[in-house]
A and B are shown apart, each in its own frame.
Chain A
Amino acid sequence: QKEVEQNSGPLSVPEGAIASLNCTYSDRGSQSFFWYRQYSGKSPELIMSIYSNGDKEDGRFTAQLNKASQYVSLLIRDSQPSDSATYLCAVKNTGKLIFGQGTTLQVKP
C-alpha cells in the first residue's frame, strides 16, 4: 500500500462546476497535510495546508481533513479552465513531505 494515494484521473469537470479531489494516507500519526498544484513542466505550487480536522477555506478552495478516516480532500468551487493542472496531495512525516502521484484535473470551457 502506498503511503499517500490519489486517483490519477483525469478528472474532467465543466467550467463553473465544483471539482472534488481526494487523497488517503496510511500513517495515522500524520499531522500536517498540503495540497500543491503543478502545471505541466512547472514547480509544485502550494495552494492549501490543513492541520486540524474539519474544513479550511481560502477563496475558491476548501480543504477537508478527517484524521479518523485518514482522508484529505480539496474542493475547487467555480472551476475555471486555468485550474486545469495536476493536484498533488502531500503529508508531512518527520519534516519531509510524502507525495501522492497526483490527480490531473481538466476543466472544460
Chain B
Amino acid sequence: EAGVTQFPSHSVIEKGQTVTLRCDPISGHDNLYWYRRVMGKEIKFLLHFVKESKQDESGMPNNRFLAERTGGTYSTLKVQPAELEDSGVYFCASSEQPGQGDNEQFFGPGTRLTVL
C-alpha cells in the first residue's frame, strides 16, 4: 500500500511568487492534515480536512494560505504571495477514520519550501 505522497519535494521561489503544494493521502483515508515546521521550531498544525470539508483551519497563519481538497482525494496548499517567513517544511498526514477517534496519522515526506 502506498503511503502519503507529496509534490514537489523541494521548491525555491522568490518573495511575492505563488507556490502550490500537493498531497496525496493514503487511499481510503478520509482525514487529511497539513502541518508545517519552520527552522528551529516544532511541527505545527495548519488545517484538517474530513473528505472535502475543512474540519479545522485554526492553524492557518493568514489569508495568503489557501487549502483545497476537491472531491475528497488529494489536497493542494497554495501560498500567494509567498513571504520569507513561509520558508519551512510542509508535511501532509492522513488517517483512516472520520471524527476524532484514536486514529493514527501517517505523514508524507514533506515539501521543503524556500522563499528568497
Which residues of A are interface residues toward B (Cβ below 8 A)?
2, 4, 31-32, 34, 36, 42-46, 49, 51, 88, 92, 94-102
Contacts and interface: CB of A to CB of B under 8 A. Distances in A.
Given A51-B102, A100-B42, A43 B56 contact: no
Interface residues of B, number: 24
17 contacts: A4-B42, A31-B102, A34-B105, A36-B107, A43-B107, A43-B109, A44-B91, A45-B107, A46-B104, A88-B43, A94-B100, A95-B56, A95-B100, A96-B48, A97-B45, A97-B105, A99-B43
A46 B109 contact: no
B45 A96 contact: yes
Contact of A43 (B44, B45, B108): B108
A2 B42 CA distance: 10
B17 interface: no
A99 B43 CA distance: 6
Nearest to A93: B45
Q: Most chain-A Cβ atoms within 10 A of its Cβ — which of B35, B107, B108?
A: B107
A51 B102 CA distance: 8
B45 A98 contact: yes
Contacts of B56: 94-96
B17 to A, nearest CB: 24
B90 to A, nearest CB: 11
A44 B107 contact: yes
Nearest to B55: A95
Interface in B45-95: 45, 48, 55-56, 59, 91, 93
Contacts of A32: 102
